[in-house]
Amino acid sequence: MKRWLLVVFLPLVFLSQASAQTPKLPRGMGSTKNCVPNPVGSLTAIQCSYTMNNLDPATPITGLVVSSVIPDPLAAPASECPTETPGTTPNIPCFLLDPITGLPTATQVTTLQPLGTVDPASGIHTDTCGGVINENGPACGSGNCSFTDRVSGSGTDTGVAVNSSTGGVVQVLACTPTPTNTPTNTPTNTPTNTPTNTPTNTPTNTPTNTPTNTPTNTPTNTPTNTLTLTPTSSPSPVIITPGAVVPTLNDSGMLILGLLLAGAGYLLLRKGSGVV
C-alpha cells in the first residue's frame, strides 16, 4: 500500500517543482483614461484622452486595436444617466506622444515597442501610444447622474493575446429648475402732483437818464488885421503952362525926393497896422 502511494505522489512532486522553476513571461498591457471637463452640465462636449502601454520589456506588442464603448459595462447601472446614448466606437487611431507636452503626434502606430524603448532622435517613448476621443454628454435630469465609457486595447505579444481597458466617469449635474415668478400684491405709493405757486422774478425795465453831451457852437472872435490906407495930402499937380519955365531936379534932388517918399510910405504902413 505504501509503495503504491509513493508511485502515485512522487511524479506529482517532481512536476510541481519543475513548474515552479519555469520563469513566467512578463506579458501584458497597461492603459489610462481621463475626461474633461468634469463635472458638466447638460449636453456638454467632453474630451477623453487615453494611452496604451506595453509592459513587456523584452518583446513588442503587434496588431494593436483600440475601441471605446458607452456606457462602461463594468460601471454601476443605477447611477448611469438615463438620457445617454449607448454605442461602440471601433478602430480608434493610436499615436506616439510628444515627450514634452504629452499630446498625440502625427505618427499613428499599431506596434508598441518593448517597455522603456525611447527613440534617440526625437526622445519619444515608442512603447506607448495614445489619442483623444471626442464625446457628447447626455442631457441633464432631475438629479446628478454618471456618464461612463470604457476604452480597450488589444494586441499580440509573442503569439499570446494581450489586452487592457480603463473606464471613465463624468458627472452630469442636475438640471437647474426654472424659477417661477409669483406676483405679490405690494401696495405702491403713488405720488400726487400738487401745483405749487412759485413766484417768479420778472425784471422791470426802468429807464435811466443818461446825460447826453451835445456840442454847442460858440462863435470865436478872431481879430483880423485890416489894412486901412489913409490918404495923405497929395502934392498938387504941377500945371505946366506952355511957355513957362519948368523946374527940374538934378540927380541929388531926385535922391532926396525918393527918400522922403519912402519915409512917408513907411509911416503910413505903421499907422495902418496900429503901431505908433
The mean per-residue pLDDT over the stretch 184-210 comes to 62
Instruction: Reduce the DSSP state of residue 255 to 3 states and report it.
Output: helix
* Domain ranges, residue 57: 24-172
Task: Note the residue count of the chain.
Answer: 276
* pLDDT higher at 99 or 204: 99
Please give the tally of structural domains in the chain: 1
Mean pLDDT along residues 20-31: 72
Q: Using alpha carbons, list the distances in angstroms from residue 34 to 49, 106, 170, 175.
A: 5, 21, 9, 24
| pLDDT confidence bin for 182, thresholds 50/70/90 | low
Residue 94 included in any domain: yes
Centre a 10 Å sphere on the Cβ of residue 105 and count the other Cβ atoms it contains: 16
Residue 62 lies in a domain: yes
Cis amide prior to 39 (ω within 30 degrees): yes
**Residue that wins the pLDDT comparison between 244 and 88:** 88
Kindly provide the residue ranges of all beta strands, DSSP E only, lying in 90-157, ordered along the sequence. 95-97, 104-108, 128-136, 145-157
pLDDT at position 215 over 90: no
Pick the range with the lowest mean pLDDT from 11-25, 75-89, 116-130.
11-25
Distances (CA, A) of 229 to 74, 224, 232, 274: 159, 16, 9, 12
pLDDT band at 17 (very low <50, low <70, confident <90, very high): very low
Q: What is the CATH number of the domain that holds 130?
A: 2.60.40.10
Task: Please check whether residue 85 lies inside any domain of the structure.
Answer: yes
pLDDT band at 223 (very low <50, low <70, confident <90, very high): very low
Question: Is residue 39 one of the residues assigned to a domain?
Answer: yes
Q: Quote the mean pLDDT of the chain.
A: 79
pLDDT of residue 85: 94
* Maximum Cα interatomic distance, the chain, rounded to a whole number of Å: 240
Residue 110 cell numbers, joined: 499599431
Share of the chain above pLDDT 70, in %: 65
CA distance 114 to 162: 14
pLDDT band at 198 (very low <50, low <70, confident <90, very high): low
Query: Would you give the DSSP letter of residue 77?
Result: G
| Start-to-end CA span in the chain (Å) | 207
Model pLDDT, residue 240: 45
Q: What is the pLDDT of residue 200?
A: 61
Whole-number Å distance between alpha carbons of 214 and 212 = 6
Question: Does 78 reside within a domain?
Answer: yes
Alpha-carbon span 187 to 275, nearest angstrom: 119
Residue 38: inside a domain? yes
pLDDT of amino acid 196: 63
Q: Is residue 117 part of a domain?
A: yes
For the cut 80, the answer to whether the pLDDT of residue 72 exceeds it is: yes
175 CB-near residues (< 8 Å, 6+ apart):
42, 140, 141, 142
Per-residue pLDDT, 8: 43
Residues 229, 232, 234, 235, CA torsion sign: negative
Residue 227 lies in a domain: no
